[in-house]
Amino acid sequence: MADILKIFLLIVGGLLIFIAFWLASEALFPALVERSRDQYRRPWKLTFAGLAMCAPLLALALGCTKLNNPLMNIVALFLLGIVVFGGLAGSAGFAKRIGAGLPSPIDEAQPWRRVLRGGTVLTLTFLLPFIGWLGLSIWTLVTGFAALVFAVREARKANLVMPAQPKIEPPAIPAAA
């Protein structure tokens, strides 16, 4: 019984970690999560771009671990952390997109509830054996990483396209006679 309870609590804890990161991303970076949500209109683009972005980072991390150097192991963990945390932050947009499809009257007053609802549904899909465990959870992180990269790029473009601020000249000081 203790072994079953241990496995059950590990699974529930892991799923709660996903939801916690998605809610933290929504609370800290709402505009970025909204841009990530918009990126999920094209999931195939995110899938291929995410694979193209994550594969070199993960291969580099794997190569660093092969060197048996403690410093390279730290670099490998850092690279893996970039992929995982970036994937979690970007996939908050996916959770928000799912939650927006499940509207509630209190969404206007508490917009974070969309992420909570969508995240709950998404993490429940991770429970499906093999497809959910390996396929959907990894796909969510890979596409989340790509969504985050595209959302950041879109935000930078929006900041670069901002109209130039008019230059304000200081008032002229009359010359003393």
Average pLDDT, the chain: 91
Confidence of residue 157 (pLDDT cuts 50, 70, 90): confident
Token match 């609802």: residue? 117
Q: What is the CA radius of gyration of the chain?
A: 22
pLDDT of residue 123: 95
For the record, the structure tokens of 75 come out as 């670099």
pLDDT of residue 163: 57
Locate the DSSP E strands across the chain: none
Token match 């070199």: residue? 56
For the record, the structure tokens of 48 come out as 């291929």
> Does the structure show a pLDDT above 70 at 146?
yes
Dump pLDDT digits (tens) for 28-61.
999 999 999 999 999 999 999 999 999 999 999 9
Confidence of residue 9 (pLDDT cuts 50, 70, 90): very high
> Does the structure show a pLDDT above 90 at 173?
no
Residue 82 near residue 60, CB atoms below 8 Å: no
pLDDT of residue 161: 61
pLDDT of residue 72: 92
Dump pLDDT digits (tens) for 86-108.
999 999 999 999 999 999 988 88
pLDDT of residue 68: 86
Q: Where are the domains of the chain?
A: 50-156
What is each CA distance from 110 to 27, 31, 33, 69, in whole angstroms? 11, 15, 15, 48
pLDDT of residue 153: 94
pLDDT of residue 145: 97
d(Cα 29, Cα 114) in Å, to the nearest integer? 15
pLDDT of residue 165: 58
Handedness of CA 30, 35, 40, 43 (dihedral sign): negative
